[in-house]
Structure 1
Amino acid sequence: MAMVRFKVGQDLIPDGLTLPQILSFVHLASALKNNIILVQPPSVIPSSAPTSPPPAICNFLADALGISLEATLTCWKLLKEEVWTYTTAEQEVFELEAAFHDHRWKQGIILEAFLTLYLPSQFCTNSLCARSKPLKKDQHHQAVVYTLVHRVQPAWSVHLSCQDCCTNYHNNFSVLGGLHTYYGGIPKYIQVGEHQFVENTVINMWITMMLVGWFSATNCARTYNIALSWQQEADLVLGGWQFGTTLMTEHVWDAFIIYMLLQDHCTQDICMQVPHTGSQKDRFTELMKQQ
């Protein structure tokens, strides 16, 4: 059988790479764009592909695709523009889960979870702040995400902070002056605890169960834990995860409250604000009284 060589412009893709490997390279690398952006110097514009990805990403791609590190770097050189402009669909990302599961533990902190929850923007959005460079001061916290189709997932929640105005940016909201200010719209994953997030489709399911089936929040949590989580606690413990996967009743109630309040604010075209201080159960009380 004749060997097929693939070209990008006038350059040849390394010997031995198959078309599925090339496509997987683009898909995997594209799914990791936020990870790549985060470690670049502030002078690198997020909309442009960097010269090379960080070593952990290169090693992960090489392991996942079964190719040499040299071939990985060559693929990046030739395909980085395609990687940077490619938009990976969510379903497509989850189809790559096996690669993350098999190889993520080898490559350092940011790849230890399949899901990484980033901010909507890499820039400070405080209208009173003059900073124009991308945010680079980051913290990563372990989290657990409850999804509908893809069960319970360990995740990293990435927080960025602006060193100029001291605004802290989280996945769902920013924190400044003692206030949580939620971003506009309904997040894909809604934070319901310090380290717990719930996919909004799961919350919609719970609302339907409550309205149609007269389920209590406790039974919503039990149903998810028994029928949908599919996740063994041991899997996360072996991976060094400090949080269990059991969904609690208070997570269901908080998800319901936050989701409904966000929907109400969306209809008014305003951003929701709640106190940063106090316990989670009391944070939304005053806002609910105003409804």
Structure 2
Amino acid sequence: MSLQQITAAIQNCPELGLVSFHGLNLFIRYASLARESIEVSQHNKLECPTELPSYILRTLATALGEKDTRLTEICWTAFRELVWTQPIISPTVDEILAYNDASVCHQTSFRHLYPPTRSCKTADCVNHRDDENILTLGELLTHTATLFTLEHGALPVYTTSLYCRSCKTRYYHNYHVHKKTSARTYYGGVPDVVQVAQHFFIESALLELFANNMVFGWLSATNCARIYNQALSTPRQHVLNNKLAFTAIYHNTKHLTPDDWNTTRLIRKEDTMNGFFLYSLLLDKAEHGGILMLPHDEQSQSDRMEQALAERNSAMEGTGQECYAHACDLCFVVYENEHGHLVKMHAAACDGNTIGHRSCKVHDCQIPLPSLRQHFCADHQHLRLKCAVIECPLDIAPGHRTCNDPHHRALETAYFKRGEAMFQLRSRLKKAGVYVPDDSVANQAVEADHEVIFDLGPKGPVEIDPESCDGKPEAGNRRLRAIFGGRWTHNEQLIMRTCGVILSRATLFGSEAVDSSNKLFAKATFPTPESTPEYFIFDNNCKLDAHQRAINDQHFKNTGKPVDVFHFNCKHKITDLHCQRYCNPASFPEMITPDGKWQFNTSICEQTNVWFGGYIAIVRDMEVTRYNFFLDEMIKHRNRYVVAELKAKGHSPWTIPTEAIFSDAIQL
């Protein structure tokens, strides 16, 4: 606001001469905050109204400390054009508090949420307008909500929807719903604010922070919510958290949410998680030029997103990751052979990690469970009353999980004596390469996920580590295997480039059998012979290669299959002639640089699993559709970070001859 504008306004309205410059400035700032609420009553929102609605006048007068609205009316007459043409201001915390104190009693607020359109979007509707600034919608419905923001904390807000009586479509802040279809059709793109529940909205900027907390900090939705509530939900939260240190200003620090507001200012873990999934779906649709559609009449937000999450999961299988076609000088090498021709070496690596989701207790069954509380899928419910000892055909005895066989009963007794849940969860964390403090995992009962193994000797049952039980039991001992609790999938397999970019992920339900799951996973990742890498590094390549040769599978005939150096030295026998002949990394001299170093990082999967294994405690009880979506999204975010880091360090795809990067089959 220039002095010339102020002078001209005072000349037209002499009463303004009694108002301080600070008061005039506050009026313009508060009026700017009310602009969206003023616009909703205008036929054309671009046209500045000559008079304000009465509730807006009262709101502005109260915020300015005036007893009546006379001065507010005068200020609006003088400065309305300035308010209408200037950019929306960024208010201070005190201005937000003052504005909300004055406005919430009039069913409006700072950041009042309205639909982004004022006219019907149905092309053949009489209320449709090409200019969305023209108001053709009506029948306003307003209710209270809480908006969780990154900058201003948790805000009390009102949200208003508009209705088209002609085509019977109601327009909300993120989407519109036609009365006949009962489907939520989102407007396209990614909104600044995402509605995660009827009364809760979260800023996209905050959801992006949550996503990165999950990617780089392995934070669960619960811990994201705790951090927000403890550190970000209120401006000057550090004062509220440290009362003794800030005694002088503690009592003057107010929450932005009134005490009598009927929605909480504390973000809930379910809204954090639903927000993450919905935000990710909106991002995915925006990136592919699509429109998100969800059912409107489902009872929960979780059920509402189920089908959309499943469709995205299917699209990500095999070649769906956006960085699938990545190449840089750490995973793609071009050299000149003895004939003077350029030859490319594009490498990939594969390994598993023992994280998983709940699955049917029948080995390798891939049918989803009816609920996480059940141990068998719908097709195997008849087995729920069978003895927990594997291969025992008898039914359980009342009050037990085993039959009346005394050896089985002794196994059950020994299992429940060894302690509660933490033994198992921490054991799985250890196998995943993740070491955490004892108190970092929630203290709740977690039953055994995979089978437990006991030797029954003269002194009673002795538990055997499943990872070291390949040998025979001691003389005179019997070995029994049992599953007393639920079962989880066997492991997650990753295929990645040797630079650290992950190409694909797959769940193995049973064992890591090379004749089934791994072979199918590798073919899904490299669906044509032309797309196969020159080198595929896998710790069990000897068995995979032997199996493919035995069945005359030619899909990977042009792919070398070395075992990574670490596993070859410690887990592969010298007497295994097939392994030594076809999978010894030293058998591939082109993989060794002139100075004797390995051309590729063959242990990249082991290193990446340190990051990937950090999700074991977060995903172990996720429903399978959300589980798959969550892990694929974590990989997508991490891949973007890895590619950015590679470029920053000079490992760009453009450092190699572009004519040799990909065959047509790889350019997806």
TM-score by structure 1 length?
0.87
Residues 39 and 136 in structure 1, CA contact (< 8 A), matched pair in contact too: no
Tell me the CA shift for residue 152 of structure 1: 0.8
For 1:102 and 1:226, the matched residues in 2 are separated by 24
RMSD: 2.5
Specify whether residues 64 and 234 from structure 1 end up closer, same or farther in structure 2 by C-alpha distance, changes over 3 A only.
closer
Report the AA paired with residue 81 of structure 1: E
Residue 163 of structure 1: aligned partner: 165
Question: 1: CA distance between counterparts of 2:256 and 2:75?
Answer: 33
List runs of 5+ in structure 1 lacking aligned partners. Answer: none
SS in 1 for 2:30: helix
Q: Which residue of 2 aligns with 1:221?
A: 225
Give the distance between the partners of 1:93 and 1:273, measured in 2 at CA: 37
CA 1:118 to 1:160, structure 2 compared with 1: closer, same or farther past 3 Å?
A: same
Q: Does 1:12 align with 2:13?
A: yes
| Counterpart in the other structure of 1:246 | 266
Which residue type is aligned with residue 38 of structure 1? V
What corresponds to 2:215 in structure 1?
211
1:92-131 superposed matches below 5 A: 92=91, 96-105=95-104, 108-110=106-108, 113-131=109-127
Alignment of structure 1 residues 20-35 onto 2, 5 Å: 20-35=22-37
Distance 1:9 1:244, change over 3 A: closer
Q: Is the 8 A contact 2:211 2:276 kept in 1?
A: yes
Q: Distance in 2 between matches of 1:92 and 1:237?
A: 18
Q: What pairs with 1:82-97 in structure 2 (closer than 5 Å)?
A: 82-89=82-89, 91-92=90-91, 96-97=95-96
Deviations 1:109-166 (A, max 9, x none): 22xx333111112222222212154322101111011111211111101111111111
Which stretch has the larger CA shift, 11-20 or 162-171?
11-20
CA deviation digits over 1:243-264, x for unaligned, max 9?
1222222111111111111111
**Pairwise mapping of residues 130-141 of structure 1 onto structure 2 (< 5 A)?**
130-131=126-127, 132=129, 133-141=135-143
**Structure 1 position 192 matched with structure 2 position 192:** no
Instruction: Work out whether 1:289 is the aligned partner of 2:310.
Output: yes
1:151 aligns with 2:150: no
The Cα of 1:22 is off from its aligned counterpart by 2.0
| Residue 94 of structure 1: how far off its partner (Å) | 5.7
Kindly tell me: are residues 259 and 235 of structure 1, through their superposed partners in 2, closer, same or farther at Cα, counting changes over 3 Å?
A: closer
User: Counterpart of 1:186 in 2: which secondary structure?
Assistant: coil
Partner letter of residue 71 of structure 2?
A
Contact 1:49/1:80 (CA < 8 Å) preserved in 2? Answer: yes
- How far apart, CA to CA, are the structure 2 residues paired with 1:32 and 1:186? 24
Given that 1:184 and 1:271 are in contact with CA atoms closer than 8 Å, whether structure 2 keeps it comes out as yes
Give the secondary structure class of the aligned counterpart of 1:50: coil
Q: Structure 1 residues 251 and 88, CA, compared in 2 at 3 Å: closer, same or farther?
A: same
What corresponds to 2:284 in structure 1?
264
Q: Deviations over 1:179-208 (max 9, x none)?
A: 101112111111111111111111111111
What displacement does 1:63 show?
2.6
Report the secondary structure of 1:210's partner residue: helix
Aligned to 2:47: 48
Report what 2:70 is aligned to. Answer: 70
8 Å CA contact retained: 1:26, 1:79: yes
Contact 1:6/1:12, CA 8 A, preserved across alignment: no
Give me the whole-angstrom Cα distance separating, in 1, the residues matched to 2:214 and 2:158: 30
Count of matched residue pairs: 280
Distance change in 2, residues 1:77/1:150 (3 Å): same
Offset at 1:34?
2.1
How big is the shift at 1:173?
0.7
What is the identity, as a one-letter code, of the residue corresponding to 1:164?
S
What secondary structure does 1:115 align onto? coil
> Which letter does structure 2 place at the counterpart of 1:179?
A
Q: Which SS does the other structure have where 2:151 is aligned?
A: coil
| Deviation larger for 181-190 or 69-78 | 69-78
Checking the alignment, whether the CA contact within 8 Å between 1:38 and 1:136 is kept in structure 2 is no
Alpha-carbon separation, structure 2, partners of 1:20 and 1:259: 41
Aligned counterparts of 2:259 and 2:58: Cα–Cα separation in 1: 21
2 CA distance for matches of 1:208 and 1:102?
Answer: 34
State which drifts further: 229-238 or 116-125. Answer: 229-238
Give the Å deviation of 1:20.
2.6
Change (3 A) 1:84 1:235: closer
Distance in 2 of aligned mates of 1:63 and 1:234? 19
Distance 1:198 1:92 in 2: 19
CA gap of 1:78–1:235, structure 2 versus 1, over 3 A, is closer
Deviation at 1:103, TM superposition (A): 2.5
Per-residue CA distance 1:37-86 (angstroms, 9 max, x = gap): 3345xxx4222122210122112222322455222212212222222222
Q: What is the deviation of 1:17?
A: 1.4
Percent identity (aligned):
30
Instruction: Quickly say closer, same or farther: Cα 1:234–1:268, change in 2 above 3 A.
Output: closer
Amino acid at match of 2:87: T
Does 30-39 or 205-214 show the bigger shift? 30-39
* Larger CA Rg, structure 1 vs 2: 2
- Rounded to whole Å, the distance in 2 between the matches of 1:229 and 1:79 is 35
Cα pair 2:187 2:291 within 8 Å, conserved? yes
| 1:270 partner amino acid | G
Contact 2:10-2:17 within 8 A present in 1 as well = no
Q: TM-score, structure 2 length as denominator? A: 0.40
Q: Is the 8 A contact 2:154 2:256 kept in 1?
A: no
Higher relative contact order (CA 8 A, sep 6+): 1
Instruction: Give the distance between the partners of 1:22 and 1:16, measured in 2 at CA.
Output: 10
Alpha-carbon distance between aligned partners in 1 of 2:19 and 2:10, rounded to the nearest angstrom = 17
Counterpart secondary structure, 1:125: coil
Q: Partners in 1 of 2:100 and 2:216 — Cα distance?
A: 37
**Which residue is 2:375 aligned to?**
none
Q: Please report how far the alpha carbon of residue 32 of structure 1 lies from its aligned counterpart in structure 2 after TM superposition.
A: 1.1
Partner Cα separation in structure 1 for residue 257 and residue 155 of structure 2: 9
CA distance in 2, matches of 1:235, 1:24: 19
